[in-house]
């Protein structure tokens, strides 16, 4: 869908109001009044056969009578007329429409109609939108809002109204305020793409009830979050709430995983939402995580400290030199440490002296100033003095500062002063710390987004054989595989299961046990009994033939009694894994209705409930993401560090999770995988029980919420001189190779590529180049050498617009390797890729002096447009007809 349509919606030059009315209380009357009350300077065109004029503006009897084609139309009539009016607007050539009311049975017809006429549609059941910088209030709400830098997108009109009311009281401004309604066309992802490029928007706040296209949402979110902070509140955390909201059933932890993966920050409730708005509106970016607390009382400081530590925050440590300086300006009875308690007799001057000293220091990353009502330091006077101190100090604008002025009546004026001064202020110590931790968690998510993963060496993978085994099982009508049956499939991905043998009866179990050696374990095999524990179907540490025989007979008897109709496929016999002090963990992969496959990691030996017992990640995983999943499980207590003789080997577990991720990506037929238990003793990982569920499914591109590495584009290439190299999509693990490649490119070639002098690329620069979203961008690297001694010798890149129409390309070859035909082969590969990807045009920019690139573009059919006055050359190649 077109972003140009969003331009007409969010920056319209003309607006038609269908169903405009002079009757007070009617939707068409409210809309007209709100539009006319603003400073929107384009024509507003009421459409109604009932009135000659509405609110003093000449009206038109129908859409066909409109003198111009409106950019935006707002349908305020009864829902029964929606479809007919939408058709009329389409024939008129209208670009965008807001539908205020509708009923679910109409949704598909409205969407189809909008698509037929290439119109964009906001709603239905939308409150409308505000664009304060344009003086535009195209909504039901009479509440005025002021221009600001924060954009708000809401799937709920009720929540939108609540935020509007709160923002008016706090004088919080917005760049855009958009109510999506039922999102039959325009969704969160479309708006994120638009707002990322909007110069008036510096941060984005989302209220979500559901996600309709996880792949599209994550792609747009990740792109936007690299440029602007995005905070999310997601309702419907429980199944009952999801049903109330008519949202598709999805694990709430999956939303957590998705939001983290995209580099966003989730807040949990409306109270946190208001704090988040305050923080986004005023707080400066953090450089670290250490907080310094200053208070005029121990109790509020303790409340702040408790909240900080409960949220795994970090307290700044003052050096002895700083403590000495502070002691010199404070009464002798005050002991100096963090938190700094100035005592309840602290005067405004004492606050000022301490703050001035601290602003000179760099031993913290943020300061929280707490004030409780006090006769010695009146709230407003103290606030004024501190605002003045911060404004006059050279570091005042660079240090992140939060304020908490406690009390209600006595502190209202002080908090207003802080807001007007652009300093975030909160009513409680806990609220202030929560806001600080929002910024910390956001910073952590951004760092995780750009962390360079390491590539595990010698990862085994035999996709062809695994596919063959799965196809054979499905052809035989087998959809559930147990430990014995999955062994070969897992071995193809380097996963080893403890050997198991099948016994059809107790006598065979005794015979096998004697062959493999005692002690042994017996496990029931039945596709109809999901939980072996229901019939005590697992017996461990059997040491004699008699014990094995008795245990086997008892398992069969219990199964027959409890599940008389169940199919019994005998027993599995395994030797007992000898792992003293080992820990039992569990890895489960399940299919989520919204996000597709989820990888869940937690402890074994429990009644598995993903909501409480597991941390969740979305495939594909690399080593950095897998490590983060393990650390999250440890930090949240989902996996408890037992301090055994051999502690958990996080790298080994991470490698195993990556192998599981690869298996799930390559084999779409696997709908569920359960490794339970996974026995961990140091770096020794033993898979005791593994089960897989299969289904006949095709590998849909949207099966995974995040597009995995597109291995199908790997290609061995022979160059002019007979040397060969591998062309492949770039990987996040390529960052060090890319850095070394750029080091071997001359400054002249870099200048041709980047149009400026570049001395060094930062980690963030390189992370943005290597950790790409394959749905929106492609970079092919030419790689040569052996696995332990690889080097990148060339790169071509194409970044497409959100509409997948135009892509901007670039090519860079190592300066000492020119003349081998490498640049041409790379660009030809990119042309083939972008053509297959459905793009209409490939374009680029170079300089008039870059004769090699211009000559290559000519040979490959590009249109070359030299703009000497601007010092650039535009290159353009048509790929597919629109």
pLDDT tens string 397-428: 899 999 999 988 889 999 999 988 989 999 99
> d(Cα 90, Cα 241) in Å, to the nearest integer?
37
One domain for residues 65 and 162: yes
Task: Tell me: do 623 and 701 sit in the same domain.
Answer: yes
Answer yes or no: is pLDDT of 434 > 60: yes
Both 693 and 787 in one domain: the answer is no
Q: Under 8 Å CB-to-CB from 135, ≥6 apart: which residues?
A: 38, 39, 40, 41
Instruction: Tell me the C-alpha distance between 580 and 258, whole Å.
Output: 37
- Of 220, 247, 280, the domain-final residue: 280
> Which helix (H) or strand (E) element contains residue 70?
none
Q: CA-CA distances (angstroms) from residue 622 to 11, 634, 655, 659?
A: 41, 19, 8, 9
Q: Which domain holds residue 785?
A: 711-878
- Same domain, yes or no: 629 and 763: no
Looking at the DSSP bridge assignments, the partners of residue 295 are: 341
- Report which of residues 165 and 270 the model is more confident about: 165
Model confidence at 812, pLDDT cuts 50, 70, 90, reads very high
CB 208 within 8 A of CB 155: yes
SS3 285: coil
Residue 444: which pLDDT band, with cuts at 50, 70 and 90? confident
Q: What are phi and psi of 102, to 5 degrees?
A: -170, 175
Residue 36 Ramachandran class (φ > 0 left, ψ -120 to 50 alpha, else beta):
alpha
Distance CA 400, CA 758 (A): 30
d(CA 597, CA 703): 8
- In this structure, the answer to whether residues 335 and 350 fall within a common structural domain is yes
CATH number of the domain to which 668 belongs: 3.30.470.20
Stretch among 304-318, 630-644, 792-806 having the lowest mean pLDDT? 630-644
Q: How far apart are CA 582 and CA 25, in angstroms?
A: 71
Q: Which residues of 693-728 are buried (b: 16+ CB within 10 A; e: fewer)?
A: bbeeeeeeeebbbbbbbeeebeeebebeeeeebebb
Torsion of CA 308, 310, 313, 315, to 10 degrees: 60
The predicted pLDDT at position 814 comes to 94
776/220 Cα distance (integer angstroms): 9
Pairwise CA distance, residues 187 & 206, whole Å: 11
Does residue 673 carry a pLDDT above 60?
yes
Q: Is the pLDDT of residue 235 over 90?
A: no
User: Beta strands 583-592 and 614-617: pairing type?
Assistant: unpaired
Rounded-to-integer distance, Cα 475 and Cα 733, Å: 39
pLDDT tens, residue by residue, 296-337: 999 999 999 999 999 889 999 999 999 999 999 999 888 899
Last residue of a domain, one of 707, 741, 763: 707
Q: Note whether 692 and 729 are same-domain residues.
A: no
One domain, residues 23 and 92: yes
- Give the pLDDT confidence score for residue 645 in this predicted structure: 58
Residues 583 and 668 placed together within one structural domain of the fold = yes
CA 212, distance to chain mean position in Å, is: 15
Cα 172 to chain centroid, rounded: 26
Specify the pLDDT at position 456.
Answer: 75
- Residue 462's pLDDT is what? 81
**Which residue shows structure tokens 């923080």?**
279
> Both 160 and 204 in a single domain?
yes
Q: How many domains does the chain have?
A: 5
Under 8 Å between Cβ of 411 and 373:
yes
Residues 373 and 262 in one domain: no
Question: For the residues 224-243, what does the mean pLDDT come to?
Answer: 87
Of all residues in the chain, what percent carry a pLDDT higher than 70?
98
| Spatial CB neighbours of 664, under 8 Å, sequence gap ≥ 6 | 589, 597, 599, 619, 670, 673
Question: 673 and 568, same structural domain?
Answer: no
C-alpha pair distances (Å), 793 with each of 733, 829, 833: 16, 15, 20
* Average pLDDT of the segment spanning 744-767: 83
Q: Is residue 141 a contact partner of residue 165, using CB atoms and an 8 Å limit?
A: no
Q: Mean pLDDT across the stretch 773-781?
A: 95
In the chain, % of residues over pLDDT 90:
67
- Give whichever of 264-273, 452-461, 524-533, 728-737 has the largest mean pLDDT: 728-737
Residue with tokens 């009617």: 26
Across the range 22-43, mean pLDDT stands at 94
Quick: pLDDT tens for 833-882. Answer: 999 999 999 999 999 989 999 999 999 999 999 988 888 999 999 999 87
Q: At what angle do helices 506-516 and 545-562 cross, to 10 degrees?
A: 140
Measured between alpha carbons, how far is 857 from 421 in angstroms, rounded to an integer?
54
Q: Using one digit for the tens of pLDDT, what is the confidence trace for 157-197?
A: 888 888 888 888 877 889 999 999 999 999 999 999 999 99
Assign 577 a pLDDT band (cuts: 50, 70, 90): confident
Given 707, 727, 761, the domain boundary residue is 707
Confidence of residue 513 (pLDDT cuts 50, 70, 90): very high
Span 707-732, average pLDDT: 94
For 688, phi then psi, to 5°, come to -85, -50
Average pLDDT over the chain, rounded to whole?
A: 91
pLDDT at 167: 84
The residue ranking higher by pLDDT, 731 or 461, is 731
**Residue 522 and residue 538 in contact, taking contact as beta carbons nearer than 8 Å:** yes
- Tokens standing for 188? 């969160």
pLDDT mean over 754-760: 73
**Token reading at 290:** 């250490």
| Phi/psi at 664 (5° precision) | -65, -40
Question: In this predicted model, what pLDDT tens digit does every residue of 117-144 receive, in sequence order?
Answer: 999 999 999 999 999 999 999 998 888 8
For residue 1, what pLDDT is reported? 46
CA-based end-to-end distance of the chain: 13
Q: Which residues pair with 779 in a beta bridge?
A: 797
Domain of residue 559, CATH code:
3.30.1490.20
In the structure, what pLDDT confidence band is assigned to residue 2 with cuts at 50, 70 and 90? Answer: low
| 67-112: pLDDT as tens digits | 999 999 999 999 999 999 999 999 999 999 999 998 889 999 999 9
Classify residue 505 by its DSSP letter: S
Read off the CATH number of the domain in which 378 is found: 3.40.50.261
Instruction: Please state, in angstroms and rounded to a whole number, the distance separating the CA atoms of residues 721 and 337.
Output: 69
* Residue of 69, 143, 113 whose CA lies nearest to 99: 113
Shared domain for 591 and 681, answered yes or no, is yes
Per-residue pLDDT tens for 582-631?
Answer: 788 999 999 999 999 999 999 987 678 888 889 999 999 999 999 999 99
Cβ pair 849, 866 in contact under 8 A: no
Residues in the chain: 882
């Amino acid at each position: 869908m077109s972003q140009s349509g969003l331009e007409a919606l969010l920056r319209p030059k003309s607006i038609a109001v269908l169903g405009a009315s002079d009757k007070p209380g009617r939707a068409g009357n409210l809309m007209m009044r709100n539009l006319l009350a603003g400073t929107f300077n384009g024509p507003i065109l009421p459409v109604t056969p009932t009135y000659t004029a509405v609110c003093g503006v000449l009206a038109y009897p129908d859409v066909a009578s409109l003198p111009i084609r409106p950019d935006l139309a707002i349908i305020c009539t009864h829902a029964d007329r929606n479809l007919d009016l939408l058709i009329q607007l389409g024939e008129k050539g209208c670009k965008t429409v807001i539908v205020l009311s509708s009923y679910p049975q109409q949704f598909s017809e409205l969407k189809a109609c909008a698509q037929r006429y290439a119109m964009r549609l906001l709603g239905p059941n939308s409150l409308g939108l505000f664009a304060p910088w344009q003086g535009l209030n195209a909504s039901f709400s009479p509440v005025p809002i002021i221009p600001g830098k924060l954009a708000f997108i809401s799937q709920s009109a009720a929540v939108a109204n609540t935020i509007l009311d709160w923002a008016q009281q706090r004088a919080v401004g917005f760049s855009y305020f958009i109510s999506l309604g039922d999102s039959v066309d325009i969704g969160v992802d479309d708006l994120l793409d638009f707002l990322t490029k909007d110069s008036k928007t510096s941060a984005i706040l989302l209220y979500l009830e559901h996600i309709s296209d996880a792949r599209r949402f994550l792609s747009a979110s990740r792109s936007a979050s690299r440029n602007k902070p995005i905070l999310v509140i997601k309702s419907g955390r429980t199944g009952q709430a999801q049903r109330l909201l008519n949202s598709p059933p999805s694990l709430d932890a999956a939303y957590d995983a998705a939001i983290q993966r995209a580099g966003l920050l989730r807040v949990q409730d409306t109270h946190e939402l208001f704090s988040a708005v305050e923080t986004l509106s005023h707080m400066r970016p953090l450089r670290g995580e250490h907080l310094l607390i200053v208070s005029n009382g121990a109790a509020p400081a303790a409340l702040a400290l408790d909240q900080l530590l409960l949220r795994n925050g970090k307290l700044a440590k003052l050096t002895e030199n700083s403590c000495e300086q502070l002691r010199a300006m404070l009464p002798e009875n005050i002991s100096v440490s963090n938190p700094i308690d100035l005592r309840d007799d602290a005067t405004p001057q004492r606050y000022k002296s301490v703050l001035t000293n601290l602003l000179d220091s760099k031993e913290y990353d943020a300061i929280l100033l707490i004030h409780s009502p006090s006769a010695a330091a009146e709230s407003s006077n103290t606030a004024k003095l501190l605002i003045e101190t911060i404004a006059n100090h050279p570091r005042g604008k660079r240090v992140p500062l939060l304020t908490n002025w406690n009390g209600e009546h006595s502190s209202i004026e002080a908090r207003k002063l802080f807001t007007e001064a652009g300093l975030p202020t909160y009513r409680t110590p806990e609220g202030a710390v929560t806001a600080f931790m929002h910024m910390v968690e956001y910073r952590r998510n951004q760092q995780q987004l750009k962390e360079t993963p390491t590539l595990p060496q010698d990862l085994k993978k035999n996709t062809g054989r695994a596919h063959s085994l799965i196809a054979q099982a499905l052809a035989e009508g087998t959809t559930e595989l147990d430990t014995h049956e999955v062994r070969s499939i897992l071995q193809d991905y380097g996963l080893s299961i403890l050997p198991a043998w099948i016994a059809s009866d107790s006598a065979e179990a005794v015979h096998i046990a004697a062959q493999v050696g005692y002690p042994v374990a017996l496990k029931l095999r039945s596709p109809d009994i999901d939980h072996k524990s229901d019939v005590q179907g697992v017996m461990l540490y059997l040491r004699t033939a008699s014990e094995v025989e008795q245990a086997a007979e008892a398992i069969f008897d219990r199964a027959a009694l409890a599940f008389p109709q169940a199919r019994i496929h005998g027993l599995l016999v395994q030797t007992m894994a000898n792992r003293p002090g080992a820990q039992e963990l569990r890895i489960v992969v399940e299919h989520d209705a919204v996000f597709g496959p989820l990888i869940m990691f937690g402890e074994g030996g429990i009644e598995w409930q993903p909501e409480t017992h597991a941390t969740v990640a979305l495939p594909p995983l690399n080593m950095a993401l897998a490590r983060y999943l393990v650390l999250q499980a440890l930090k949240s207590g989902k996996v408890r560090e037992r301090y055994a003789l051999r502690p958990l080997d996080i790298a080994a577990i991470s490698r195993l999770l990556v192998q599981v991720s690869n298996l799930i990506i390559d084999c779409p037929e696997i709908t569920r995988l359960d490794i339970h238990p996974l026995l961990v003793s140091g770096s020794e990982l033993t898979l005791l029980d593994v089960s897989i569920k299969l289904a006949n499914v095709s590998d849909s591109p949207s099966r995974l919420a995040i597009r995995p590495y597109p291995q199908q584009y790997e290609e061995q290439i022979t160059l002019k001189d007979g040397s060969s190299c591998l062309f492949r999509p770039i990987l996040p693990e390529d960052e060090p190779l890319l850095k070394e490649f750029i080091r071997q490119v001359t400054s002249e070639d870099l200048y041709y590529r980047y149009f400026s002098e570049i001395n060094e690329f930062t980690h963030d620069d390189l992370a943005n180049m290597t950790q790409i979203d394959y749905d929106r961008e492609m970079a092919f690297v030419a790689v040569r050498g052996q696995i332990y001694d690889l080097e990148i010798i060339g790169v071509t890149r194409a970044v497409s617009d959100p509409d997948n129409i135009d892509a901007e390309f670039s090519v860079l070859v190592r300066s000492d390797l020119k003349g081998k035909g490498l640049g041409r082969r790379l660009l030809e590969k990119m042309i083939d890729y972008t053509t297959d990807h459905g793009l209409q045009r490939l374009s680029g920019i170079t300089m008039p002096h870059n004769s090699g690139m211009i000559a290559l573009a000519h040979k490959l059919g590009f249109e070359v447009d030299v703009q000497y006055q601007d010092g650039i050359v535009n290159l353009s190649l048509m790929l597919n007809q629109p």
